[in-house]
Amino acid sequence: DSGVTQTPKHLITATGQRVTLRCSPRSGDLSVYWYQQSLDQGLQFLIQYYNGEERAKGNILERFSAQQFPDLHSELNLSSLELGDSALYFCASSDHPHRVGYGYTFGSGTRLTVV
Amino acid sequence: AQKITQTQPGMFVQEKEAVTLDCTYDTSDQSYGLFWYKQPSSGEMIFLIYQGSYDEQNATEGRYSLNFQKARKSANLVISASQLGDSAMYFCAMRLSVSGNTPLVFGKGTRLSVIA
């Protein structure tokens, strides 16, 4: 167990629907990062939160949004889902100041299938 | 913007042999960190090894070593004495500012298959 908890592990939904993915960071970590991994692709950075505030934004679609709550857990909301949104969504956390030499601690991911 | 390139979509290696997975990066920053992650078929991301841009020695972690050539902007992963359990996707990643809290940028990965 990495200490980063993602729920649900699997999600199957229909096109046009909306889903929420949840992430609880490792205890003490203030930063949360969301990544999307499509089939046979690398990890695409979506968005970063630090202590409740948006810190950096990557290639996140307007249909997607995220937030980090006071208890530091984060949610990624995906709406108007399309078939191409099917992917493995990872959450990762890191502490601050960042321990030199450490990357992130990743959750086990949420596999989203849009049918 | 920083970029990571992994040119080998797939690699095969015989068990107990050594293998090198290539990674080149592009950044104009002087301070950055380079990482390698392993993703087995189960899907989780496992941190393997780290190299800072100011580190003079190549990083090593057990059977993993990082061949860091700063002038060539390459950070190749060397796995010695390959094991069947090494079969997985391997991702090279970079973050700017060694101690900063910035996002990791990943390459597309290399799928390693270890043959008995």
Nearest to B89 by CA among B48, B42, B39, B45: B39
CB B29 within 8 A of CB B97: yes
A84: how many CB neighbours lie within 10 A of its CB? 10
Q: How confident is the model at residue A69 (pLDDT cuts 50, 70, 90)?
A: very high
Residues of B in contact with A31 (CB under 8 A): 101
pLDDT for A101 equals 57
Query: What pLDDT is stored for residue A13 in this prediction?
Result: 97
CA–CA gap between residue B41 and residue B93 (Å, rounded) = 19
Whether residue A103 and residue B95 make contact (CB cut-off 8 A), yes or no, is: yes
Q: Do A103 and B93 touch (CB under 8 A)?
A: yes
| Residue A59: predicted pLDDT | 85
Contact in structure between A45 and A58 (CB atoms under 8 Å): yes
The whole-chain average pLDDT of chain B stands at 92
pLDDT of residue B108: 94
Query: Cβ separation of B47 and A100 shorter than 8 Å?
Result: no
Q: What is the mean pLDDT of chain A?
A: 91
Q: Which residues of B touch A1 (CB under 8 A)?
A: none
B-chain residues within 8 Å CB-CB of A94? Answer: 101
* pLDDT band, residue B56 (cuts 50/70/90): confident
How far apart, in whole angstroms, are the C-alpha atoms of residue A88 and residue A78? 13
